[in-house]
Structure 1
Amino acid sequence: MHVTIRQLDKAIPLVCCPHRGPYRQIGQAFDALDSWTSGQAFEPARVFALYYDDPSATPPEALHSAAGVALPADTPLGDGLERAEIPSGRYAVLLHKGPYPALEVSYRWLFEQWLPNSGETQIDAPCIEEYLNTPHDVAPQELLTEIWVPLQAR
Protein backbone atom coordinates (compact mmCIF):
# COMPACT_ATOMS: atom_id res chain seq x y z
CA MET A 1 0.00 0.00 0.00
CA HIS A 2 1.20 3.48 -0.82
CA VAL A 3 0.10 6.81 0.67
CA THR A 4 0.55 10.17 -1.06
CA ILE A 5 0.14 13.58 0.52
CA ARG A 6 -2.27 15.76 -1.44
CA GLN A 7 -2.69 19.50 -1.05
CA LEU A 8 -6.26 20.53 -1.86
CA ASP A 9 -6.01 24.23 -2.67
CA LYS A 10 -9.72 24.92 -3.04
CA ALA A 11 -12.66 23.52 -1.09
CA ILE A 12 -14.99 21.18 -2.97
CA PRO A 13 -18.69 22.05 -2.52
CA LEU A 14 -20.99 19.05 -2.14
CA VAL A 15 -24.66 18.21 -2.16
CA CYS A 16 -25.12 15.44 0.40
CA CYS A 17 -27.64 12.98 1.69
CA PRO A 18 -26.95 12.49 5.41
CA HIS A 19 -26.85 9.03 6.98
CA ARG A 20 -27.08 7.92 10.62
CA GLY A 21 -26.16 4.39 11.58
CA PRO A 22 -23.57 1.78 10.64
CA TYR A 23 -21.22 2.96 7.95
CA ARG A 24 -21.82 -0.22 5.95
CA GLN A 25 -25.41 0.94 5.44
CA ILE A 26 -24.50 4.25 3.74
CA GLY A 27 -25.70 2.70 0.50
CA GLN A 28 -29.21 3.85 1.46
CA ALA A 29 -28.02 7.47 1.34
CA PHE A 30 -26.33 6.87 -2.03
CA ASP A 31 -29.57 5.38 -3.37
CA ALA A 32 -31.51 8.50 -2.29
CA LEU A 33 -28.85 10.78 -3.77
CA ASP A 34 -28.83 8.79 -7.03
CA SER A 35 -32.62 9.11 -7.25
CA TRP A 36 -32.33 12.88 -6.91
CA THR A 37 -29.43 13.30 -9.36
CA SER A 38 -31.13 11.14 -12.00
CA GLY A 39 -33.96 13.70 -12.15
CA GLN A 40 -31.60 16.65 -12.66
CA ALA A 41 -30.20 18.20 -15.81
CA PHE A 42 -26.60 17.52 -14.79
CA GLU A 43 -24.37 14.53 -14.25
CA PRO A 44 -22.14 14.80 -11.15
CA ALA A 45 -18.56 13.99 -12.05
CA ARG A 46 -17.20 13.24 -8.57
CA VAL A 47 -18.82 11.12 -5.88
CA PHE A 48 -17.74 11.16 -2.22
CA ALA A 49 -18.63 9.86 1.22
CA LEU A 50 -17.86 11.80 4.40
CA TYR A 51 -17.31 9.85 7.62
CA TYR A 52 -17.55 12.07 10.70
CA ASP A 53 -17.04 9.63 13.58
CA ASP A 54 -14.46 7.09 14.71
CA PRO A 55 -16.23 3.72 14.44
CA SER A 56 -13.96 2.27 17.14
CA ALA A 57 -15.19 4.91 19.63
CA THR A 58 -18.80 5.49 18.51
CA PRO A 59 -21.67 2.99 18.71
CA PRO A 60 -22.76 1.91 15.21
CA GLU A 61 -26.26 3.39 15.59
CA ALA A 62 -24.75 6.82 16.41
CA LEU A 63 -22.31 7.04 13.47
CA HIS A 64 -22.80 10.08 11.23
CA SER A 65 -21.84 10.03 7.56
CA ALA A 66 -23.01 11.49 4.27
CA ALA A 67 -23.12 10.46 0.62
CA GLY A 68 -22.17 13.40 -1.58
CA VAL A 69 -21.65 14.65 -5.10
CA ALA A 70 -19.49 17.59 -6.12
CA LEU A 71 -21.79 20.32 -7.42
CA PRO A 72 -21.70 24.13 -7.39
CA ALA A 73 -22.53 25.68 -4.00
CA ASP A 74 -25.64 27.35 -5.46
CA THR A 75 -27.20 24.07 -6.69
CA PRO A 76 -30.83 23.92 -5.51
CA LEU A 77 -31.31 21.19 -2.91
CA GLY A 78 -33.84 18.40 -3.04
CA ASP A 79 -35.81 17.16 -0.02
CA GLY A 80 -33.59 15.69 2.69
CA LEU A 81 -30.38 16.94 1.09
CA GLU A 82 -27.87 19.34 2.59
CA ARG A 83 -24.77 21.26 1.63
CA ALA A 84 -21.31 20.30 2.81
CA GLU A 85 -17.80 20.83 1.59
CA ILE A 86 -14.47 19.14 1.57
CA PRO A 87 -12.21 21.82 3.01
CA SER A 88 -8.96 22.86 1.44
CA GLY A 89 -5.90 21.50 3.18
CA ARG A 90 -3.54 18.55 3.34
CA TYR A 91 -4.72 14.95 3.02
CA ALA A 92 -3.08 11.56 3.20
CA VAL A 93 -4.52 9.63 0.28
CA LEU A 94 -4.52 5.86 -0.09
CA LEU A 95 -5.86 4.19 -3.24
CA HIS A 96 -7.86 1.05 -2.43
CA LYS A 97 -8.55 -1.43 -5.21
CA GLY A 98 -11.24 -4.00 -4.58
CA PRO A 99 -14.71 -4.48 -3.12
CA TYR A 100 -16.11 -1.99 -0.62
CA PRO A 101 -16.23 -4.48 2.30
CA ALA A 102 -12.43 -4.85 1.99
CA LEU A 103 -11.96 -1.11 2.63
CA GLU A 104 -11.78 -1.97 6.34
CA VAL A 105 -8.39 -3.65 5.75
CA SER A 106 -7.04 -0.51 4.05
CA TYR A 107 -8.35 1.72 6.86
CA ARG A 108 -6.80 -0.50 9.50
CA TRP A 109 -3.40 -0.40 7.77
CA LEU A 110 -3.66 3.37 7.26
CA PHE A 111 -4.50 4.14 10.89
CA GLU A 112 -2.54 1.39 12.66
CA GLN A 113 0.59 1.23 10.51
CA TRP A 114 1.07 4.24 8.28
CA LEU A 115 -0.22 7.16 10.37
CA PRO A 116 1.68 6.37 13.61
CA ASN A 117 4.95 6.01 11.64
CA SER A 118 4.44 8.87 9.19
CA GLY A 119 5.27 11.92 11.31
CA GLU A 120 1.87 13.30 10.27
CA THR A 121 -1.00 14.32 12.57
CA GLN A 122 -4.64 13.74 11.71
CA ILE A 123 -6.91 16.72 12.37
CA ASP A 124 -10.49 16.66 13.65
CA ALA A 125 -12.32 16.59 10.33
CA PRO A 126 -14.17 13.86 8.44
CA CYS A 127 -12.37 11.10 6.60
CA ILE A 128 -13.39 11.02 2.96
CA GLU A 129 -13.79 8.39 0.31
CA GLU A 130 -13.82 9.34 -3.36
CA TYR A 131 -15.23 6.69 -5.68
CA LEU A 132 -13.28 6.70 -8.94
CA ASN A 133 -15.62 4.16 -10.56
CA THR A 134 -18.81 2.35 -9.55
CA PRO A 135 -20.20 -1.17 -9.20
CA HIS A 136 -22.39 -0.33 -12.22
CA ASP A 137 -19.26 0.05 -14.36
CA VAL A 138 -16.76 -2.55 -13.12
CA ALA A 139 -16.54 -5.83 -11.21
CA PRO A 140 -16.08 -5.55 -7.41
CA GLN A 141 -12.38 -6.50 -7.59
CA GLU A 142 -11.81 -3.57 -9.99
CA LEU A 143 -13.42 -0.85 -7.84
CA LEU A 144 -11.11 2.09 -7.12
CA THR A 145 -11.68 4.13 -3.97
CA GLU A 146 -9.43 6.86 -2.59
CA ILE A 147 -9.38 7.19 1.20
CA TRP A 148 -8.54 10.74 2.31
CA VAL A 149 -7.37 11.44 5.87
CA PRO A 150 -7.22 15.17 6.78
CA LEU A 151 -3.80 16.22 8.08
CA GLN A 152 -2.41 19.09 10.10
CA ALA A 153 -1.05 21.96 8.03
CA ARG A 154 2.72 22.35 7.71
Structure 2
Amino acid sequence: MTAALRNYHERMQRVLDHIDRHLDDDLELDGLSGIAAFSKFHFHRQFTATFGLSVHRYVRLARLKRASYRLAYRDNDRVTDIAMDSGYTAPDAFARAFRQRFGQSPSSFRKSPDWEPWLAAFGPLDNARSKLMQKILTPNDVTIRNVPPTPVAIMQHRGDPAMLGATIQRFIAWRKAAGLHPRTNPTFNVWRSERRPASPADYSVDLCVGTDRPIEAKGEEIKAGEIRGGRCAVLRVIGNTDNLEPAALYLYRDWLPESGEEARDFPIYCQRLSFFPEVAEHEAVAELFLPLK
Protein backbone atom coordinates (compact mmCIF):
# COMPACT_ATOMS: atom_id res chain seq x y z
CA MET A 1 0.00 0.00 0.00
CA THR A 2 1.39 3.39 -0.98
CA ALA A 3 1.77 6.14 1.61
CA ALA A 4 -0.90 8.21 -0.18
CA LEU A 5 -3.41 5.34 -0.15
CA ARG A 6 -2.66 4.55 3.49
CA ASN A 7 -3.27 8.19 4.38
CA TYR A 8 -6.56 8.15 2.46
CA HIS A 9 -7.70 5.02 4.31
CA GLU A 10 -6.71 6.49 7.68
CA ARG A 11 -8.81 9.58 6.99
CA MET A 12 -11.80 7.42 6.08
CA GLN A 13 -11.22 5.27 9.17
CA ARG A 14 -11.40 8.42 11.30
CA VAL A 15 -14.89 8.99 9.90
CA LEU A 16 -16.05 5.46 10.80
CA ASP A 17 -14.60 5.78 14.31
CA HIS A 18 -16.30 9.16 14.75
CA ILE A 19 -19.64 7.72 13.65
CA ASP A 20 -19.24 4.81 16.12
CA ARG A 21 -18.53 7.19 18.99
CA HIS A 22 -21.30 9.68 18.16
CA LEU A 23 -24.31 7.60 17.12
CA ASP A 24 -26.47 9.71 19.45
CA ASP A 25 -25.44 12.98 17.76
CA ASP A 26 -26.30 14.70 14.51
CA LEU A 27 -24.00 13.24 11.87
CA GLU A 28 -24.21 15.67 8.99
CA LEU A 29 -22.11 15.53 5.85
CA ASP A 30 -20.36 18.83 6.55
CA GLY A 31 -19.11 17.65 9.92
CA LEU A 32 -18.05 14.22 8.69
CA SER A 33 -16.19 15.63 5.70
CA GLY A 34 -14.31 17.87 8.14
CA ILE A 35 -13.30 14.83 10.23
CA ALA A 36 -11.75 13.32 7.11
CA ALA A 37 -10.39 16.68 5.89
CA PHE A 38 -12.09 16.14 2.52
CA SER A 39 -14.07 18.68 0.51
CA LYS A 40 -17.73 18.64 1.50
CA PHE A 41 -18.61 18.85 -2.20
CA HIS A 42 -17.01 15.47 -2.94
CA PHE A 43 -17.03 13.61 0.38
CA HIS A 44 -20.38 11.87 -0.13
CA ARG A 45 -19.28 10.35 -3.44
CA GLN A 46 -15.87 9.42 -1.99
CA PHE A 47 -17.53 7.64 0.94
CA THR A 48 -19.94 5.76 -1.33
CA ALA A 49 -17.16 4.77 -3.72
CA THR A 50 -15.01 3.50 -0.84
CA PHE A 51 -17.64 1.61 1.15
CA GLY A 52 -20.34 0.72 -1.34
CA LEU A 53 -23.13 2.53 0.53
CA SER A 54 -24.00 6.13 1.26
CA VAL A 55 -23.15 7.99 4.46
CA HIS A 56 -26.85 8.19 5.33
CA ARG A 57 -27.36 4.44 4.89
CA TYR A 58 -24.19 3.61 6.83
CA VAL A 59 -25.28 5.76 9.79
CA ARG A 60 -28.81 4.36 9.71
CA LEU A 61 -27.53 0.76 9.68
CA ALA A 62 -25.02 1.47 12.48
CA ARG A 63 -27.79 2.92 14.65
CA LEU A 64 -30.13 0.01 13.89
CA LYS A 65 -27.41 -2.50 14.71
CA ARG A 66 -26.83 -0.92 18.12
CA ALA A 67 -30.60 -0.75 18.66
CA SER A 68 -31.04 -4.43 17.81
CA TYR A 69 -28.26 -5.43 20.23
CA ARG A 70 -29.93 -3.43 22.99
CA LEU A 71 -33.31 -4.99 22.22
CA ALA A 72 -31.94 -8.53 22.20
CA TYR A 73 -29.40 -8.38 25.00
CA ARG A 74 -30.35 -5.49 27.31
CA ASP A 75 -33.91 -6.10 28.41
CA ASN A 76 -33.84 -3.21 30.90
CA ASP A 77 -33.57 -0.65 28.07
CA ARG A 78 -36.98 0.75 27.12
CA VAL A 79 -37.99 0.60 23.45
CA THR A 80 -38.82 4.32 23.55
CA ASP A 81 -35.30 5.18 24.76
CA ILE A 82 -33.75 2.93 22.13
CA ALA A 83 -35.83 4.64 19.43
CA MET A 84 -34.77 8.13 20.52
CA ASP A 85 -31.11 7.11 20.77
CA SER A 86 -31.35 5.77 17.22
CA GLY A 87 -32.22 9.20 15.85
CA TYR A 88 -36.00 8.81 15.60
CA THR A 89 -38.33 11.48 16.97
CA ALA A 90 -41.11 9.00 17.75
CA PRO A 91 -41.29 5.27 18.58
CA ASP A 92 -43.72 4.68 15.71
CA ALA A 93 -41.20 5.88 13.13
CA PHE A 94 -38.54 3.65 14.68
CA ALA A 95 -40.92 0.68 14.67
CA ARG A 96 -41.74 1.18 10.97
CA ALA A 97 -38.06 1.40 10.01
CA PHE A 98 -37.18 -1.61 12.15
CA ARG A 99 -39.99 -3.73 10.70
CA GLN A 100 -39.06 -2.72 7.15
CA ARG A 101 -35.45 -3.76 7.75
CA PHE A 102 -35.95 -6.96 9.78
CA GLY A 103 -39.55 -8.06 9.19
CA GLN A 104 -40.34 -7.77 12.92
CA SER A 105 -41.49 -5.04 15.24
CA PRO A 106 -38.96 -4.01 17.94
CA SER A 107 -41.07 -5.66 20.68
CA SER A 108 -41.40 -8.88 18.66
CA PHE A 109 -37.66 -8.92 17.98
CA ARG A 110 -36.96 -8.47 21.69
CA LYS A 111 -39.15 -11.47 22.58
CA SER A 112 -38.04 -13.81 19.78
CA PRO A 113 -35.48 -12.46 17.28
CA ASP A 114 -35.46 -13.87 13.76
CA TRP A 115 -31.71 -13.89 13.25
CA GLU A 116 -31.45 -14.81 9.55
CA PRO A 117 -32.99 -11.53 8.23
CA TRP A 118 -30.92 -9.72 10.87
CA LEU A 119 -27.67 -11.20 9.54
CA ALA A 120 -28.65 -10.40 5.94
CA ALA A 121 -29.60 -6.80 6.79
CA PHE A 122 -26.18 -6.00 8.21
CA GLY A 123 -24.14 -7.61 5.43
CA PRO A 124 -23.51 -4.23 3.70
CA LEU A 125 -22.46 -2.62 7.00
CA ASP A 126 -20.06 -5.43 7.87
CA ASN A 127 -18.61 -5.40 4.35
CA ALA A 128 -18.06 -1.64 4.57
CA ARG A 129 -16.32 -1.89 7.94
CA SER A 130 -14.08 -4.76 6.85
CA LYS A 131 -12.67 -2.79 3.92
CA LEU A 132 -10.58 -0.57 6.18
CA MET A 133 -10.28 -2.78 9.24
CA GLN A 134 -7.93 -5.35 7.71
CA LYS A 135 -4.74 -5.27 9.75
CA ILE A 136 -1.47 -6.84 8.66
CA LEU A 137 -0.50 -9.03 11.61
CA THR A 138 3.12 -9.74 12.53
CA PRO A 139 4.85 -12.00 15.10
CA ASN A 140 5.21 -8.92 17.32
CA ASP A 141 1.42 -8.95 17.80
CA VAL A 142 1.61 -12.39 19.46
CA THR A 143 2.76 -13.02 23.03
CA ILE A 144 3.20 -16.33 24.86
CA ARG A 145 1.65 -16.54 28.31
CA ASN A 146 1.36 -19.16 31.02
CA VAL A 147 -2.39 -19.16 31.62
CA PRO A 148 -3.87 -20.55 34.86
CA PRO A 149 -6.76 -23.03 34.63
CA THR A 150 -10.16 -21.34 34.79
CA PRO A 151 -13.31 -23.08 36.09
CA VAL A 152 -16.28 -22.09 33.93
CA ALA A 153 -20.01 -22.56 33.51
CA ILE A 154 -20.80 -23.60 29.93
CA MET A 155 -23.80 -23.16 27.65
CA GLN A 156 -23.24 -25.10 24.45
CA HIS A 157 -24.36 -23.99 21.00
CA ARG A 158 -24.64 -26.83 18.54
CA GLY A 159 -26.04 -26.37 15.05
CA ASP A 160 -26.69 -23.60 12.53
CA PRO A 161 -24.45 -20.56 13.29
CA ALA A 162 -27.33 -18.33 12.12
CA MET A 163 -29.05 -19.27 15.39
CA LEU A 164 -26.07 -18.39 17.59
CA GLY A 165 -27.69 -15.05 18.48
CA ALA A 166 -30.56 -16.88 20.17
CA THR A 167 -28.13 -18.92 22.28
CA ILE A 168 -26.22 -15.76 23.22
CA GLN A 169 -29.50 -14.16 24.27
CA ARG A 170 -30.29 -17.11 26.57
CA PHE A 171 -26.73 -17.15 27.91
CA ILE A 172 -26.85 -13.46 28.84
CA ALA A 173 -30.24 -13.90 30.53
CA TRP A 174 -29.00 -16.94 32.47
CA ARG A 175 -25.77 -15.33 33.71
CA LYS A 176 -27.68 -12.19 34.70
CA ALA A 177 -30.09 -14.31 36.77
CA ALA A 178 -27.10 -16.12 38.27
CA GLY A 179 -25.38 -12.85 39.21
CA LEU A 180 -22.33 -13.48 37.01
CA HIS A 181 -21.65 -10.00 35.65
CA PRO A 182 -18.92 -9.53 32.97
CA ARG A 183 -17.13 -7.05 35.25
CA THR A 184 -16.60 -9.75 37.88
CA ASN A 185 -16.72 -12.99 35.89
CA PRO A 186 -14.78 -13.27 32.61
CA THR A 187 -16.45 -14.27 29.35
CA PHE A 188 -14.98 -16.90 27.02
CA ASN A 189 -15.89 -18.56 23.71
CA VAL A 190 -14.39 -21.99 22.98
CA TRP A 191 -14.65 -23.02 19.33
CA ARG A 192 -15.06 -26.72 18.69
CA SER A 193 -15.62 -26.50 14.94
CA GLU A 194 -14.76 -24.32 11.97
CA ARG A 195 -16.58 -20.98 11.71
CA ARG A 196 -18.25 -22.22 8.52
CA PRO A 197 -18.29 -26.06 8.55
CA ALA A 198 -19.39 -27.96 5.46
CA SER A 199 -22.74 -28.58 7.16
CA PRO A 200 -24.21 -25.83 9.36
CA ALA A 201 -25.44 -28.58 11.68
CA ASP A 202 -21.80 -29.28 12.59
CA TYR A 203 -21.13 -25.79 13.96
CA SER A 204 -20.10 -25.97 17.62
CA VAL A 205 -19.07 -23.35 20.19
CA ASP A 206 -19.15 -23.17 23.98
CA LEU A 207 -20.27 -19.92 25.65
CA CYS A 208 -18.49 -19.76 29.00
CA VAL A 209 -18.38 -17.59 32.09
CA GLY A 210 -15.60 -17.93 34.65
CA THR A 211 -16.89 -19.05 38.05
CA ASP A 212 -15.97 -21.51 40.77
CA ARG A 213 -19.44 -21.31 42.35
CA PRO A 214 -21.81 -24.30 42.24
CA ILE A 215 -23.80 -24.16 39.01
CA GLU A 216 -27.50 -23.37 39.21
CA ALA A 217 -29.01 -24.21 35.82
CA LYS A 218 -32.22 -22.17 36.37
CA GLY A 219 -34.00 -24.08 33.62
CA GLU A 220 -31.12 -23.96 31.13
CA GLU A 221 -28.70 -26.67 30.01
CA ILE A 222 -25.62 -25.48 31.88
CA LYS A 223 -22.66 -27.60 32.85
CA ALA A 224 -19.46 -27.04 34.79
CA GLY A 225 -16.13 -27.28 32.99
CA GLU A 226 -12.64 -25.86 32.84
CA ILE A 227 -10.49 -23.94 30.40
CA ARG A 228 -7.21 -25.73 30.86
CA GLY A 229 -4.16 -23.86 32.01
CA GLY A 230 -0.81 -23.90 30.23
CA ARG A 231 1.21 -22.04 27.66
CA CYS A 232 -0.80 -20.12 25.05
CA ALA A 233 -0.05 -17.88 22.09
CA VAL A 234 -2.19 -14.78 22.67
CA LEU A 235 -3.32 -12.32 20.00
CA ARG A 236 -5.31 -9.22 20.99
CA VAL A 237 -7.97 -8.02 18.53
CA ILE A 238 -9.48 -4.54 18.78
CA GLY A 239 -12.61 -3.75 16.77
CA ASN A 240 -14.63 -6.09 14.56
CA THR A 241 -14.54 -8.80 17.23
CA ASP A 242 -17.67 -10.38 15.74
CA ASN A 243 -15.36 -12.12 13.27
CA LEU A 244 -12.12 -13.42 14.79
CA GLU A 245 -11.49 -15.84 11.91
CA PRO A 246 -8.77 -13.68 10.22
CA ALA A 247 -6.83 -13.53 13.50
CA ALA A 248 -7.23 -17.29 14.04
CA LEU A 249 -6.09 -18.00 10.48
CA TYR A 250 -2.98 -15.88 11.06
CA LEU A 251 -2.10 -17.88 14.17
CA TYR A 252 -2.55 -21.23 12.43
CA ARG A 253 -1.29 -20.41 8.93
CA ASP A 254 1.57 -18.00 9.61
CA TRP A 255 2.60 -17.69 13.23
CA LEU A 256 2.51 -21.35 14.31
CA PRO A 257 4.66 -22.82 11.47
CA GLU A 258 7.22 -20.01 11.78
CA SER A 259 7.39 -20.11 15.59
CA GLY A 260 8.53 -23.71 15.94
CA GLU A 261 5.80 -24.24 18.55
CA GLU A 262 3.23 -27.05 18.53
CA ALA A 263 -0.45 -26.74 19.34
CA ARG A 264 -1.75 -28.43 22.49
CA ASP A 265 -4.79 -30.72 22.57
CA PHE A 266 -7.35 -28.04 23.51
CA PRO A 267 -9.45 -25.89 21.15
CA ILE A 268 -8.63 -22.31 20.26
CA TYR A 269 -10.66 -19.90 22.39
CA CYS A 270 -11.11 -16.22 23.15
CA GLN A 271 -11.74 -14.02 26.15
CA ARG A 272 -14.01 -11.05 25.47
CA LEU A 273 -12.70 -8.07 27.41
CA SER A 274 -15.12 -5.34 26.29
CA PHE A 275 -18.40 -5.57 24.43
CA PHE A 276 -20.48 -3.68 21.90
CA PRO A 277 -22.79 -1.83 22.62
CA GLU A 278 -21.25 -1.04 26.04
CA VAL A 279 -18.35 0.42 24.04
CA ALA A 280 -18.25 1.69 20.46
CA GLU A 281 -17.91 -1.19 18.02
CA HIS A 282 -14.39 -0.25 16.95
CA GLU A 283 -13.31 -0.25 20.63
CA ALA A 284 -14.47 -3.80 21.45
CA VAL A 285 -11.56 -5.98 22.59
CA ALA A 286 -11.02 -9.74 22.54
CA GLU A 287 -7.96 -11.89 23.12
CA LEU A 288 -7.48 -15.05 21.09
CA PHE A 289 -5.71 -17.99 22.81
CA LEU A 290 -3.99 -20.79 20.90
CA PRO A 291 -2.97 -23.47 23.46
CA LEU A 292 0.64 -24.66 23.08
CA LYS A 293 2.58 -27.71 24.29
TM-score range, shorter chain: 0.7 to 0.9
What is the aligned-residue RMSD (CA, Å)?
A: 2.1
Report the 3-state secondary structure (helix = DSSP H, G, I; strand = E; otherwise coil) of the residue aligned with 1:36: helix
Determine which structure has greater relative contact order: mean sequence separation of CA pairs < 8 Å that are 6+ residues apart, divided by chain length: 1
Equivalent residue for 2:153, pick from 4, 10, 15: 15
Q: How many residues are treated as equivalent by the alignment?
A: 151
Q: Indicate conservation of the 8 Å contact 2:154/2:224, yes or no.
A: yes
Query: Cα gap change, 1:141/1:8 in structure 2, threshold over 3 Å: closer, same or farther?
Result: same
Equivalent in the alignment of 1:91: 232
1:107 pairs with one of 243, 248, 251: 248
The structure 1 residue matched to 2:168, chosen from 27, 30, 42, is 30
Q: 1:60 matched to which residue of 2?
A: 200
**Letter paired with 1:120:** E
Larger radius of gyration: 2
State whether residues 155 and 171 of structure 2, in contact with CA within 8 Å, keep that contact through their aligned partners in structure 1.
yes
Which stretch of the first structure deviates more once superposed, 121-130 or 95-104?
95-104
Shift of the alpha carbon at 1:97? 0.9
Indicate conservation of the 8 Å contact 1:21/1:63, yes or no. yes
Q: Is the 8 A contact 1:23 1:65 kept in 2?
A: no
Q: 2:170 & 2:216 partners in 1: Cα distance?
A: 16
Q: When you count strand as a share of all residues, which structure comes out higher? A: 1
Contact 1:29 1:66 in 2 (8 A): no
Using the alignment, how far apart are the partners of 2:162 and 2:280 within structure 1?
Answer: 19
Spell out, residue by residue over 1:78-118, the C-alpha distance to the aligned partner (whole angstroms, 9 max, x if none): 32111121011111110011113442221121111111111
Amino acid in the other structure paired with 2:147: L
For structure 2, the 5+ residue unaligned runs are: 1-136
Change (3 A) 1:48 1:42: closer
Gaps of 5+ in 1: none
**Cα distance per residue 1:61-90 (max 9 Å; x no partner):** 212211110011523333211112101111
TM-score (norm 1): 0.86
- Offset of residue 42 of structure 1: 4.3
Using a 3 Å threshold, how does the CA distance of structure 1 residues 47 and 101 change in structure 2: closer, same or farther?
Answer: closer
1:49 aligns with 2:189: yes
TM-score when normalising by structure 2: 0.47
Question: Percent identical across equivalent pairs?
Answer: 26
